[in-house]
Structure 1
Amino acid sequence: MYSIKPDIIIEKVSESSIKKFPLGKEILVISSKTVSENHGLHEIFDGLKNDSQLHIFNHVRPDAPFEDLDLVLDKLKGVELDSIIAIGGGSTIDAAKALSVAFGNTSYKDVFYGRSPIPTEKIKLLAIPTTAGTGAELSFGAILYDKVNGKKGGIRGEIVQPDYVLIDANLHNGCPTALKAEVGFDCLTHAIETYISKKSTALVRIQSINCIKTIFQHLVPACKNDSIEDMEKVAIVSTLMGINLAFSSTCLPHRIQYVIGPMTETSHAQGLIAIYKGWLKHLQQENIEAFNLLASDLNLTVDQFIEKVDKLKNELNINFGITKLGLHEHNINEIANKVSGNMQVDPSYKDRSSINNVLKLAL
């Protein structure tokens, strides 16, 4: 089954557009100071305060650390929330998704570590993404970071998918060019990996091909020319990749990034960019049928597809490997031994030697 359940509106974020969603009286707002200041959200919040009680937090950091969620939970003990609004990038939305199931009797940390099942009820959530790449606004996962134990992982289940989504390309266009380029490449990784994954379906693959074509055509002008028309197209396919993530799966690059991100203190997108230098070559070396089919669906050979990805990275000035992240050959075994999660969905994975090869090719 492939379905899009949340209500989705594509228009400028405003008091009136937010009020189109039934959010109730007690509303938690997760945003960031930068987003609030750059897009005049204070005025929108002031308008919403006329009808609702807003609890605004703007402290969530990249990777959504446990302590950032705990601060919200501690401050709002005893508050009966009706809904949550998340305005930001993937980490902000993931934090809100985790919080949407964290105000009941179940500890989100117990769910994170598999000690408790994910709750069956949640607080309604409106996601307003400000970056086009993560797909967090429609996916079934919330990626968090336990800094104390050095563990990056996720809370996963259909219940954490946002209930409402508002897409405003003006928010995406307000990001720095480098960030737009990096998260745009993250969107491309979701399209490639959900196509190749052993969990993929015919509908997933069609969405992936559409996304890849859109990224190849529209990401560069969206970044270099600040084209709102191109950015809206990228924003829409990014959101649809959230559905692909819900019904398929990412592959080795994401499993590896969960290790090297905290190790190098680099972003999720930067890690994927670096790993892809090796992973695409690894797929080619292993002559993976799904990779060959992906290229064929784009009317390309595998060589031509890899060349197009390299061209895209060069045009966006993001063509680098893991050496730029501060990693070298002597780090490879350590990284490979720490990689966890379901790696069997990647058709190129055989054993730890597969991870080693990806990393060597990514130097």
Structure 2
Amino acid sequence: MDCWFDSGCASFAQWHYPFENEDKFEGSFPVDYICEAVDQTRGWFYSLMAVSTTVFDSICYRRCLSLGHILDKDGKKMSKSKGNVVNPWDHFNKEGADSIRWYMTTQSAPWSPTNFDPHGVRESYAKMFLTLWNVYKFHADYASLDGFDPDNEDTFVPLEERSHLDRWILSKASLMAQGYHDKFVRWDFHKAGRNLEAFVVNDLSNWYVRRSRRRLWNEVDSMDKHSCQNTLHEVLLIVCRLMAPVSPFVSDAIHRGLTGTSVHLADWPVGSDIIESALPPVDPLVEMEMELVRSIAEAGRRVRVDAGRRQRLPCRSGWIVGGPDLSSFHEILSEELNVEEISVIDDLDTFQKIEIVPNRKALGAKCRADLPKVLSELQMIDLESLLLEIEA
């Protein structure tokens, strides 16, 4: 018989049905999901459906994912004759299988063609995996030095007693995890992965860890240090469990380091039955305040650049003009901007400087010999009163 007919019988032939295993066949027919490359639409996908409808008058699979082909970095089909074939073992040995899996997942939608760029794999390795591993090592090293035990009730800090920074990153992690899950079940794996990567790089590493280093450097055993250690531990667990289906090796190594158990035996952190207990609550207010703080910090860094003052040089004072009360975040802003004191003022009048710059050419044409006298009078004008008259 034709091999396509043979493969089209897979739904029941795998159980040697109808000769035996009737219960196994009926318990798995139709299957939930099949996956192959796009060329199988007229091959295996078709033969499975044709045989099933002929024999059982029924579909044999509920969902089908048709993968796009892998092309070279320029979008051309890989071919030995063209010399554009990539040896995957080169990247397995350099960046690891997880980096390739992550790169392939986040590069494009699974049903779209994927341009394989070796530089992109290296970038994925450096951006996502080195960053995540450095965050884990930062936590693990200080946890080891301090004897941190996540199961120790004496050093556990309840969520409501943790700092704004801790509650912010936990809220961001929870919101990200829910979005990741929603995209995953819709097969938008590329969008889910990009969101997780942005969280790890921008929120967890570049902001939370950078703003928390001093908390763990402190040799004094404090509640704030315990709060930071608990928070990092919880966030890393969420990240590991989310990325495990795509990057099973790195996520398992980190999870084992955190808990001593495999991530592949852990519960998925999101789901209708466990979502309330598995994830911390989302705090929109803290997230909104922290986003405002980060935007203020970015504006402050731009002011330093414009003024030609390097970040390492401390400033005595910084001012925030108007806006909501962010006094609980002033310490974060002071450290981020290397400013000794942050103050809040109501308006910009303190920083406004009014000047009159005469247009000598225009005045000379009108005043002629009286120009020196006019210039002298202009210097004696009360600029505040003049501004009020102009505005009136």
On whether the aligned pair clears a TM of 0.5, the verdict is no
Between 1 and 2, higher relative CO (CA 8 Å, sep ≥ 6) is seen in 1
TM-score tier, shorter chain, comes to under 0.3
- The structure with more radius of gyration: 2
Indicate the structure with greater helix content. Answer: 2
